[in-house]
Amino acid sequence: MKKRVAILISGRGSNMMALVEAARAPDYPAEIVSIIASRPDAAGLAWAKAQGLPTVAVDHKSYATREAFDETVHAALVEARTDLIALAGFMRIQSAAFVQKWQGRQLNIHPSLLPLFKGLHPHKQALDAGVKISGCSVHFVTEEMDSGPIIAQAAVPVLDGDTPETLAERILVAEHKLYPHALALVASGRAILDGGRVRSGSTASRADGLFSPQL
Ligand code: GRF
């Protein structure tokens, strides 16, 4: 049985597109059952509608509290019989109650090699730190932002002359490969949450969660 996945977005939704495209393969272990946007004008929402995907806009501005917003999102997820959530550029901090309800079933992508450069402006943080390799990470969501157990990571070189924009563009190419891979690992049971860490299922290669650039 394919896992039923809802994707939560706030903006352009390029990672959502990569997941939707990947899930079109007949042997992909997950299907995309809902796209939920925190902004009705999110560019990704228009794309999803044009694809004929089920979409829901939950305008965060219409909710007085974080909890009320989260409850509406939760109801939409239940309505879509969601097994797994993929956050893809979803710019809302979630309430503890929501995170707990979806513990171990919610994934996020962040454009750095976590635990480095959490939070806002990770590309600028990487450049300011002078690292030669950055990348992206897919992790399970926990209450602390960008801090949950890591499922898979891709390394991306930082080049002389990079700006936050050029580095973001290079990392984004890797994100679009890594996220479908990581979601497939979780959906197929090849990545298993075990305490605070993610381990490979018995048939998986130990390198399943790792991508490296060619040197
Ligand atoms: C990506 O860089 C993602 O890692 C971060 O926000 C950005 C979203 O981009 N969390 P998109 O909306 O998927 O194009």
HEC per residue, 65-103: CHHHHHHHHHHHHHHCCCCEEEECCCCCCCCHHHHHHCC
Residue among 18, 12, 13, 44 at smallest CA distance from 183:
18
Q: How far apart (Å, rounded) are the C-alpha atoms in residues 30 and 32?
A: 7
pLDDT tens figures, 129-168: 999 999 999 999 999 999 999 999 999 999 999 999 999 9
The CATH number of residue 109's host domain is: 3.40.50.170
Any domain includes 214 = no
Any domain includes 12 = yes
Any domain includes 172 = yes
Q: Look at residue 55 and tell me whether its pLDDT is greater than 70.
A: yes
Range of the domain at 116: 3-199
Any domain includes 9 = yes
Q: What are the b/e assignments for 71-94, b being 16+ CB within 10 Å?
A: bbbbebbeebebbbbbbbbbebeb
User: For the residues 61-65, what does the mean pLDDT come to?
Assistant: 96
Q: What are the b/e assignments for 121-138, b being 16+ CB within 10 Å?
A: ebbebbbeeebeebbbbb
In the structure, what pLDDT confidence band is assigned to residue 38 with cuts at 50, 70 and 90? Answer: very high
- Contact (Cβ atoms closer than 8 angstroms) between residue 133 and residue 153: no
Overall domain count for the chain = 1
Q: Ligand 1, closest atom to CA 18?
A: 13
- The Å distance, Cα 11 to ligand 1 centre, comes to 8
pLDDT value for 206: 57
Q: What is the pTM of this model?
A: 0.95
Q: Ligand 1, closest atom to CA 87?
A: 10
Any domain includes 14 = yes
Q: Ligand 1, closest atom to CA 111?
A: 4
- Catalytic residue check, 110: yes
pLDDT value for 212: 72
Any domain includes 119 = yes
Q: Is 185 in the pocket of ligand 1 (CB under 6 A)?
A: no
Any domain includes 205 = no
Protein residue closest via CA to atom 10 of ligand 1 = 89
Any domain includes 107 = yes
